Chain A
Amino acid sequence: MITPRLVSLVVVLLAAVAVPAGAEDSYPTRPITMVVPFPPGGVADLTARPVASAMEKVLKHPVGVVNKQGAAGAVGMQSVAVAKPDGYTLLLALSSISIIPEADKLFNRPPAFTVDQFAPIALISADPTILVVPADKPWKTAREFIEDAKKRPGQISYSSSGIYGTLHMAMELLSQAAGLKLRHVPHQGAGPALTAILGGHVDALASGPAVVLPHIKAGKLRPLAGWGDKRVAALPEVPTFKELGYPEAEFYIWAGVFAPKGTPEPVLARLRGALREAVNDPDFKSAMDRLETPVTFKQGEEFQKFFETDARRLAEGVRRVGRVEAKP
Chain B
Amino acid sequence: MLETLQNLGLGFSVALQPPVLFYAFVGCVIGTLVGVLPGVGPLAGISLLLPATFGMDATRAIVMLAGIYYGAMYGGSTTSILMRIPGEAASVMTCIDGYAMARKGRAGAALAIAAVGSFIAGTSSVVGLMLLAPPLASFALRFGPPEQLALLLLGLLVLAYMSSGSMLKALAMAALGLLLGTIGIDQMTGYMRYAYGVVELGDGLGVVPVAVGLFGVAEILATAGAPTPPAVVKPRFRELFPSRREWNESAWPIARGSVLGFLIGILPGSAHIISSFVSYAVEKRVSKHPEQFGHGAVAGVAGPESANNSATSGAFVPMLALGVPSGPIPAVMLAALMVHGVAPGPLLIHQAPALFWGFIASMYVGNVMLLILNLPLVGLFVNILRIPYPYLYPAILVFSILGVYAVNGSVVDVWIMLVMGVLGYVLRKLDFETAPIVLGVVLAPLIELSLRQSLAMSDGRYSIFLEHRIAAVLLAFGLVLVLLNLYSFARRGLDWRARMARAEEGDS
Contact = CB atoms under 8 A, between A and B. Distances in A.
Interface of A: 39-42, 45-46, 49, 65-72, 74-75, 78, 103, 106-107, 109-110, 112, 154-155, 157, 162-164, 183-189, 191-192, 194-196, 198-202, 210, 213-215, 217-218, 220, 287, 290-291, 323-325
A157 B460 CA distance: 13
Given A46-B339, A199-B144, A215-B323, A191 B457 contact: no
B506 to A, nearest CB: 61
B204 to A, nearest CB: 10
B185 A72 contact: yes
Contact of A49 (B51, B191, B347, B410): B51
Contact of A185 (B47, B190, B409, B457): B457
6 tightest CB-CB pairs across the interface, nearest first? Answer: A71-B202, A214-B345, A41-B335, A201-B144, A40-B47, A41-B332
A11 B331 CA distance: 56
Nearest to B346: A218
Given A40-B335, A187-B453, A49 B54 contact: yes
Interface stretch (B74-82, B192-200, B226-234): B192-200
B262 interface: no
A112 B199 contact: yes
Contacts of A291: 338-339
Given A75-B199, A290-B340, A291-B339, A163 B346 contact: no
A189 B328 CA distance: 10
B200 A75 contact: yes
A70 B408 contact: yes
B341 interface: yes
B269 interface: yes
B155 interface: no
A186 B143 contact: no
5 contacts: A71-B185, A72-B185, A163-B188, A200-B144, A324-B188
Given A183-B457, A185-B457, A103 B190 contact: yes
A194 B324 contact: yes
A173 to B, nearest CB: 17
Contacts of A192: 268-269, 325
B187 A186 contact: yes
A218 B449 contact: no
A256 B302 CA distance: 49
B142 interface: yes
B141 A198 contact: yes
A121 to B, nearest CB: 22
A200 B331 CA distance: 20
A201 B141 CA distance: 9
B189 A325 contact: yes
Contact of A71 (B48, B203, B347): B203
Contacts of B334: 41, 191
A100 B144 CA distance: 28
Interface string B191-219: 11000010110110000000000000000
B34 to A, nearest CB: 14
A40 B338 contact: no
A217 to B, nearest CB: 7
Nearest to A110: B197
A160 to B, nearest CB: 11
Q: Which of B50, B190, B325, B339 has the most CB of A within 10 A?
A: B190
Given A41-B331, A215-B323, A218-B345, A71 B141 contact: no
B459 interface: yes
B35 interface: no
A114 B269 CA distance: 33
Contact of A218 (B199, B318, B347): B347
Contacts of A187: 453
A209 to B, nearest CB: 13
B344 interface: yes
A214 B143 contact: no
A215 B346 contact: yes
Contacts of A68: 408-410
Given A75-B202, A324-B189, A195 B268 contact: yes
Contacts of A198: 141, 322, 324
A125 B256 CA distance: 49
A196 B190 contact: no
A157 B144 CA distance: 13
Contacts of A210: 338
B343 interface: yes
A287 B341 CA distance: 9
Contact of A191 (B189, B202, B331, B346): B331
Q: Which of A191, A202, A323 has the most CB of B within 10 A?
A: A191
A46 B338 contact: yes
A200 B332 CA distance: 23
B61 interface: no
Contacts of B331: 41, 189, 191
B145 interface: yes
Given A192-B325, A198-B322, A324-B188, 6 more contacts: A40-B46, A41-B47, A69-B408, A185-B453, A200-B141, A217-B347
A130 B429 CA distance: 57
Nearest to B468: A201
B41 to A, nearest CB: 14
A70 B199 contact: yes
A110 B83 CA distance: 43
Interface in B307-359: 318, 322-326, 328, 331-336, 338-341, 343-347
A157 B344 contact: no
A201 B336 contact: no
B398 interface: no
Nearest to A42: B335
A70 B202 contact: yes
A108 to B, nearest CB: 11
Q: Which of B192, B333, B343, B344 has the most CB of A within 10 A?
A: B343
Nearest to B323: A214
A107 B191 contact: yes
Nearest to A168: B190
B456 A184 contact: yes
A111 B334 CA distance: 34
Contacts of B325: 191-192, 195
B190 A290 contact: no
Interface string B64-77: 00000000000000
B294 to A, nearest CB: 34
A195 B324 contact: yes
Contacts of A195: 141, 268-269, 318, 324-326
Nearest to B187: A186
Contacts of A325: 189
A146 to B, nearest CB: 20
A197 to B, nearest CB: 10
Contacts of A110: 197
A186 B453 contact: yes
Contacts of B199: 70-71, 74-75, 78, 112
Nearest to A155: B459
B172 to A, nearest CB: 28
B339 to A, nearest CB: 6
A163 B184 CA distance: 13
Nearest to B186: A163
B493 to A, nearest CB: 42
Interface string B375-411: 0000000000000000000000000000000001110
A285 to B, nearest CB: 14
Contacts of A40: 46-48, 50-51, 332, 335
